[in-house]
């Protein structure tokens, strides 16, 4: 069955030589977090099957509220970030991103989907995993080419970043961070690729650090719901493990 609204669980790999950070035990989940177990397993014995990524996750309302805020979208009822929506710089951010993504849709994404449906129909319709090396945060392109994929596996050289600590960020810092984010998004939308050396300073000189805010913008603007943001790694047996990161080096 084709779903018109997908729920995306962001999985971010931490590479040890890029980030040397302390780890802490997971604290008890808040009341607005519900357990959603995932009991699927990878079956590599049948190449015709699409393997699932076996990882448990929880639904955290804040992560989706964050994605919509960064993407310049109206907050949902009872959003954790509703208090920011009436601020002038947030309204300007929303207006700028509305125009930016309407232009992106008309100029690039709609023609891309039309081409994919006609020329790559078999791949456009299938639900296999999609692997996109050196993608940076380019979720827009890969999702419009393969909108029904079960999992999107993206990787790049940019620092991954953390969920911003909104309790300790003053409003003027939010303003400058949104301006910086807009500059990054405008550059990426214009080129559809990152120049890592050029982008690295922009991803660091802000309270919204790393590639994570950029990816959240693209996921939210694609009409998706973010269930949870996790930092994960592959252990020595090739299995996925959660890791709990409190800092990321830039």
Over 70: is that where the pLDDT of 6 sits? no
Q: For residue range 39-76, list pLDDT tens digits in order.
A: 223 233 343 444 455 556 667 789 999 999 999 999 99
How many domains does the chain divide into? 1
How many residues would you count in the chain?
Answer: 250
Query: Is residue 153 in a domain?
Result: yes
What pLDDT shows up at residue 47?
38
In degrees rounded to 5, what are phi and psi of residue 233?
Answer: -150, 165
Q: For residue range 198-207, list pLDDT tens digits in order.
A: 555 666 678 8
pTM: 0.75
Angle formed by the axes of helices 212-221 and 61-70, nearest 10°: 90
What pLDDT shows up at residue 26?
36
In the numeric block, which tokens belong to residue 100?
């930016």
Query: Is residue 48 in a domain?
Result: yes
Query: Is residue 110 in a domain?
Result: yes
Query: Is residue 1 in a domain?
Result: no
What pLDDT shows up at residue 11?
52
In the numeric block, which tokens belong to residue 36?
């959603």
Find all residues with CB under 8 Å of 249, minimum gap 6, and list them: 18, 19, 20, 21, 159
Kindly report each contact of residues 85-89 with a partner whose C-beta sits within 8 Å and lies 24 or more positions away, as own/partner: 87/171, 87/174, 89/174, 89/175, 89/178
Query: Is residue 138 in a domain?
Result: yes
Q: Positive or negative, the Cα torsion across 227, 231, 235, 238? A: positive
Determine the structural domain holding residue 35 and report its residue range: 7-243
Query: Is residue 33 in a domain?
Result: yes
């Amino acid at each position: 069955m084709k779903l018109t609204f997908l729920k995306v669980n962001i999985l971010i790999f931490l590479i040890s030589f890029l980030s040397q950070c302390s780890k802490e035990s997971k604290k008890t989940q808040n009341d607005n977090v519900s357990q959603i177990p995932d009991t699927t397993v990878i079956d590599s014995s049948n190449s015709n099957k699409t393997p699932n990524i076996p990882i448990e996750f929880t639904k955290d309302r804040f992560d989706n509220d964050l994605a919509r805020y960064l993407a310049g979208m109206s907050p949902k009822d009872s959003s954790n970030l509703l208090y920011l929506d009436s601020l002038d710089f947030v309204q300007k951010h929303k207006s700028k991103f509305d125009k930016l993504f309407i232009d992106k849709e008309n100029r690039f994404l709609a023609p891309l989907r039309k081409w994919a449906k006609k020329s790559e129909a078999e791949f456009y319709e299938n639900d296999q995993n999609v692997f996109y090396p050196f993608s940076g945060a380019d979720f827009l392109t890969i999702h419009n080419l393969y909108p029904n994929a079960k999992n999107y596996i993206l990787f790049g050289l940019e620092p991954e970043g953390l969920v911003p600590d909104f309790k300790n960020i003053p409003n003027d810092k939010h303003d400058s961070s949104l301006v910086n984010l807009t500059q990054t998004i405008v550059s990426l939308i214009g080129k559809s690729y990152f120049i890592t050396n050029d982008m690295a300073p922009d991803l660091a000189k802000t309270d919204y650090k790393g590639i994570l805010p950029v990816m959240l913008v693209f996921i939210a603007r694609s009409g998706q719901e973010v269930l949870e943001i996790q930092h994960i790694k592959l252990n020595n047996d090739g299995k996925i493990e959660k890791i709990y990161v409190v800092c990321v080096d830039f």
